[in-house]
Chain A
């Protein structure tokens, strides 16, 4: 199955996703650029995405915990979700998500060898 991810700069990534993972894990694994700092514990809101409106109603509804956690995200819209709470399975094959502002990874300090 595939998921489509639009990154912070608007670039489109089509990612081959294994089933049974979390959308955040797939985005992170392909190094698209998402902070996701709590690692999927629904505890930081730094994997916030906008789910394409056509897909939003097709995925299982968020838990109260996820809705609460969205309070620490920025630019929350009706189609906001935390991508660590969306599981990859057949029913979302072809889904498109947009990385939300405030989920950019920390700017990298220039690599250096002293």
Chain B
């Protein structure tokens, strides 16, 4: 277990709303650490639609998901937020003094006075194909990522998908596999053309197989896969496989947040509209993950929520400090924090 990281605030989720919360909390001198399951900031904006234009960000008639993320990172840079990517928050424990210890699945520990849940639609996780009994094989024969190549050595590997993950792992695992088959629904790929070329060359040389098809069923025993049943336009067929890697992109799941004893309404966290506080003192929820009468799931709503939340968080972290409301335009104090020269 690593050393305890001390901070004022832990923000769960580094999407646009989590990022802007750093700004509002920073103006009030609160230090933030952000935890996100993705390998980069921006949440849905960066993962699902980095190139797509957004038209309802105030003062930006049109901005892309990645553009918005980049501007936010620039805006919060003066506050030196610390990012922890590729991690899921695993646990949250309230301490006797009202503070929290937050742990991640990478065994980090954070000690903080305030937790801000800005987790949007939940954590991004690989899509599970709706094939019967697939759960029984997960972690033994069915994997959604490759953590240890050795798990795949001398195995009959079946990879399903047509994007970069499917192609890249076909190329990477082929040399150590007993056999490797790539299955995709069509003979066109979203992945890099160069990878497609390399994959086709391996097929040509007889070093791997490619089949058109979609999965219909799995066969095996005790979590050990032996065969995958598939179908395509020509009919049904099967491929002997002891390892299966399905790559169908990501989906969002609420995850461990459901287990923290917070009030929940249809997988959303109810909050008040004065502080955006949850049912647990010291835990706030902002952005798409919260709900209240009249809630609109808009990025701009999350920005507003972040500002009000920040003032409530300040009162928890520094209860004796009097906060004088200030504007960034006129306050030399705030401008100093923003490194305005």
Partners in one complex: yes
Interface residues, chain A, with chain B CB atoms under 8 Å away: 35, 37-39, 41, 43-46, 68, 70-76, 101-102, 106, 108-114
Q: Which residues of B contact A110 (CB under 8 A)?
A: 264
Known: A38-B48, A43-B48. A111 touches B161 (CB 8 A): no
* Stretch in contact with the other chain, from B69-77, B142-150, B250-258: B250-258
Name 24 A/B residue pairs within 8 A (Cβ), A-sorted: A35-B251, A37-B251, A38-B48, A38-B49, A39-B297, A45-B248, A71-B163, A71-B184, A71-B248, A72-B127, A74-B130, A74-B248, A75-B214, A76-B214, A106-B267, A108-B266, A109-B267, A110-B264, A111-B265, A111-B266, A112-B263, A112-B264, A114-B262, A114-B280
Q: Which residues of B contact A109 (CB under 8 A)?
A: 254, 258, 264, 267
Q: Which residues of B contact A41 (CB under 8 A)?
A: 48-49, 52
* B261 sits at the interface (CB 8 A): yes
Q: Which residues of B contact A70 (CB under 8 A)?
A: 185
- Check A38–B44 contact: CB distance below 8 A: yes
Q: Which residues of B contact A39 (CB under 8 A)?
A: 297
Majority-rule SS of B interface residues: loop
Q: Which of A35, A46, A71, A102 touches B161 (beta carbons < 8 Å)?
A: A71
User: How distant is the Cα of A73 from the Cα of B247 in the complex, in angstroms?
Assistant: 10
User: How distant is the Cα of A102 from the Cα of B258 in the complex, in angstroms?
Assistant: 22
- Check B129–A74 contact: CB distance below 8 A: yes
Shortest C-beta distance, A78 to chain B (Å), equals 9
Q: Which of B44, B185, B266 touches A71 (beta carbons < 8 Å)?
A: B185
Q: Look across to chain A and name the residue whose beta carbon is closest to the beta carbon of B47.
A: A43
- Check B263–A46 contact: CB distance below 8 A: no
Total B residues in contact with A, Cβ cutoff 8 Å? 34
User: How distant is the Cα of A110 from the Cα of B267 in the complex, in angstroms?
Assistant: 8
- Check B279–A43 contact: CB distance below 8 A: no
Q: Which residues of A contact B121 (CB under 8 A)?
A: 37
Known: A37-B121, A75-B130, A111-B264. A106 touches B248 (CB 8 A): no
Shortest C-beta distance, A107 to chain B (Å), equals 9
Shortest C-beta distance, B292 to chain A (Å), equals 15
User: How distant is the Cα of A112 from the Cα of B267 in the complex, in angstroms?
Assistant: 10
- Check A72–B254 contact: CB distance below 8 A: no
User: How distant is the Cα of A102 from the Cα of B127 in the complex, in angstroms?
Assistant: 9
Most chain A CB atoms below 10 A, which of B130, B261, B297: B130
Convert B279-320 into 0s and 1s, putting 1 for each residue whose CB lies closer than 8 angstroms to a CB of A.
Answer: 110000000000000000100000000000000000000000
Convert B27-56 into 0s and 1s, putting 1 for each residue whose CB lies closer than 8 angstroms to a CB of A.
Answer: 000000000000000001000110010000
Known: A71-B163, A114-B261. A102 touches B129 (CB 8 A): yes
- Check B254–A106 contact: CB distance below 8 A: yes
Q: Which residues of B contact A101 (CB under 8 A)?
A: 130
Q: Which of A38, A72, A74, A112 touches B214 (beta carbons < 8 Å)?
A: A74
Q: Which residues of B contact A112 (CB under 8 A)?
A: 263-264
Q: Look across to chain A and name the residue whose beta carbon is closest to the beta carbon of B53.
A: A41
Q: Look across to chain B and name the residue whose beta carbon is closest to the beta carbon of A73.
A: B248
Q: Look across to chain B and name the residue whose beta carbon is closest to the beta carbon of A113.
A: B263
User: How distant is the Cα of A6 from the Cα of B252 in the complex, in angstroms?
Assistant: 24
- Check B130–A108 contact: CB distance below 8 A: no
Q: Look across to chain B and name the residue whose beta carbon is closest to the beta carbon of A43.
A: B48
Give chain B interface residues in 213-272, CB to chain A under 8 Å.
214, 248-249, 251-254, 258, 261-267
Q: Look across to chain B and name the residue whose beta carbon is closest to the beta carbon of A46.
A: B251
- Check A114–B263 contact: CB distance below 8 A: yes
User: How distant is the Cα of A112 from the Cα of B269 in the complex, in angstroms?
Assistant: 10
Shortest C-beta distance, A60 to chain B (Å), equals 20
Given contacts A74-B214, A102-B127, A109-B267, 10 further A-B contacts (CB under 8 A): A37-B251, A37-B252, A38-B49, A41-B49, A44-B249, A44-B251, A71-B161, A74-B127, A75-B130, A113-B263
Q: Which residues of A contact B258 (CB under 8 A)?
A: 109
* B162 sits at the interface (CB 8 A): yes
